[in-house]
């Protein structure tokens, strides 16, 4: 494994059945304006075989790439994501070809249907093909460089937290699709799919899980040599190219836990390999022809598609930590102070993925485009998230009342 780097809301009520309306109201209650002020909770596997434990994180970032083009001119929210633009020569990339990361290969293909499927998120986008953010690796080599795609969060203060992505991986051999947390080449956490490793004939679909450390850098950015357990290859129990699945990284103080669809793939303790500072989140799809990793370039344009990213985390920014504590202290009695993170629910957002929120972000990303105006939002008692949530709650109440009235007429 080698390191790589340079340095909206779904409408869960869209259904025609009155019974479905009632069930959705009961199963998907909206957080109120004062909810979640003390954070967001999840259950994670414990270290050393101990019982699983509940953890709470104070900040969130929720992005729905099936409904929102975060890079387009029409998007008026804070610029949370940036498409990366940079080149790597063949020698720097350590492959027979160089790598060119271009904005045109990160394509927002928004789903335009009003109703979105709850059991499958293979909806087609308005531009044709799979709906979501398409990360494209081109089959044509230009000036000795494979044309690749990468996006990154503008904020760089993502520290301990749980980080999730809805992802459908390309089935075209010769690329690497990666979801990763990054600070530098010795503090990095990767989930990487090498499409040339997939074997449909025998249902073999490996995924590479990596902690990049000082030792792996000394070994030529190869974590697989180490006996510290910071590189593990795991077989998935499903075909990652056939549909969307959720992949998850839990970055904790003493361990990193990798998941696929809520099932633990690996736990790494790694000693000095556990990141000790905040970083940012990236999604990348690339090839440089290296037969030892990405292989390729692909014979045809290859597309891996992102449906969502959800991050629940503690900020490495001390000021934001103090603000989070203050919010929690002021949470009104009777509110849901800690909100449970929806597990594997495409529509289960705790915020409005199209709006901003409070927070000052984590710094600029020099390789990106756009400005880090407001950074990554926290859902609190002020700002557009609450306004949107209140309007949605009001709309739901009106629609539910109408449904009950019709139900009464039928009875």
Strand runs (DSSP E) across 19-113, as ranges?
A: 39-44, 53-57, 59-64, 81-83, 86-88, 98-101, 106-109
The verdict on residue 115 lying in a domain is yes
Q: Provide the number of structural domains found in the chain.
A: 1
Average pLDDT per 10 consecutive residues for the chain, totaling 411 residues: 41 32 42 79 73 87 94 87 97 96 97 56 74 97 98 96 97 98 94 98 97 74 64 97 96 95 90 89 98 97 97 95 92 90 78 60 36 31 28 38 41 42
* pLDDT at residue 270, as a whole number: 67
* pLDDT at residue 280, as a whole number: 97
* pLDDT at residue 45, as a whole number: 74
| Structural domain for 164, as ranges | 18-410
The verdict on residue 1 lying in a domain is no
How far, in Å, are 54, 139, 239, 302 from residue 195 at the CA level? 35, 14, 11, 10
The verdict on residue 11 lying in a domain is no
The verdict on residue 6 lying in a domain is no
The verdict on residue 104 lying in a domain is yes
Taking only the tens place, the pLDDT of each residue in 254-307 is: 999 999 998 999 999 866 789 999 999 999 999 999 999 999 999 999 999 999
The verdict on residue 122 lying in a domain is yes
The verdict on residue 3 lying in a domain is no
Closest by alpha carbon to 62, among 352, 337, 339, 398? 352
* pLDDT at residue 221, as a whole number: 62
The verdict on residue 2 lying in a domain is no
| CATH code of the domain in which 225 resides | 2.60.120.200
Q: What angle do the packed helices 18-27 and 384-410 form, to 10 degrees? A: 140
Pairing relationship of beta strands 245-251 and 256-260 according to DSSP bridges = antiparallel
How far, in Å, are 12, 210, 240, 244 from residue 286 at the CA level? 34, 17, 17, 19
> What is the spatial distance between Cα 17 and Cα 406, in angstroms, rounded to a whole number?
11
């Amino acid at each position: 494994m080698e390191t790589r780097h340079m340095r909206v809301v779904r409408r869960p009520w869209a259904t025609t059945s009155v019974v479905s309306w009632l069930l959705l109201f009961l199963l998907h209650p909206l957080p109120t304006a004062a909810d979640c002020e003390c954070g967001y909770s999840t259950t994670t596997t414990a270290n050393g075989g101990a019982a699983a434990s509940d953890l709470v994180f104070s900040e969130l970032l929720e992005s729905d790439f099936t409904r929102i083009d975060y890079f387009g001119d029409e998007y008026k929210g804070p610029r949370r994501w940036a498409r990366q633009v940079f080149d790597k020569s063949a020698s720097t990339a350590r492959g027979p070809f160089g790598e060119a990361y271009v904005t045109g290969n990160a394509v927002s293909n928004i789903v335009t249907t009003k109703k979105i499927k709850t059991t499958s998120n293979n909806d087609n986008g308005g531009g044709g093909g799979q709906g979501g953010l398409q990360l494209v690796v081109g089959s044509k080599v230009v000036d000795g460089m494979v044309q690749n795609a990468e996006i990154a969060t503008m904020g760089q203060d993502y520290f301990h937290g749980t980080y999730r992505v809805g992802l459908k991986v390309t089935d075209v051999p010769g690329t690497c699709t990666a979801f990763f947390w990054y600070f530098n080449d010795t503090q990095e956490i990767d989930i990487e799919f090498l499409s040339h490793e997939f074997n449909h004939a025998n249902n073999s679909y490996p995924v590479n899980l990596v902690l990049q450390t000082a030792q792996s850098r000394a070994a030529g950015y190869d974590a697989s040599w180490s006996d510290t357990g910071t590189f593990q290859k795991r077989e998935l129990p499903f075909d990652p190219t056939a549909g969307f699945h959720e992949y998850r990284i839990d970055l904790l103080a003493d361990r990193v836990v990798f998941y696929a669809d809520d099932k633990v793939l690996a736990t790494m303790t790694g000693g000095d390999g556990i990141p000790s500072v905040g970083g940012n989140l990236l999604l990348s799809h690339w090839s440089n022809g290296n037969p030892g990793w990405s292989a390729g370039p692909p014979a045809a344009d290859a597309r891996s598609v992102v449906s969502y990213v959800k991050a629940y985390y503690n900020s490495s920014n001390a000021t934001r930590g103090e603000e989070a504590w203050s919010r929690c202290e002021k949470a009104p009695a009777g509110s849901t102070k800690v909100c449970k993170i929806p597990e594997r629910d495409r529509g289960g957002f705790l915020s409005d993925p199209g709006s901003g929120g409070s927070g000052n972000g984590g710094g600029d990303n020099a390789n990106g485009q756009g400005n880090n105006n407001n950074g990554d939002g926290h859902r609190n008692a002020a700002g557009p998230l609450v306004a949107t949530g209140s309007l949605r709650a009001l709309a739901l109440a009106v629609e539910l009342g109408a449904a009950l009235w019709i139900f009464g007429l039928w009875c």
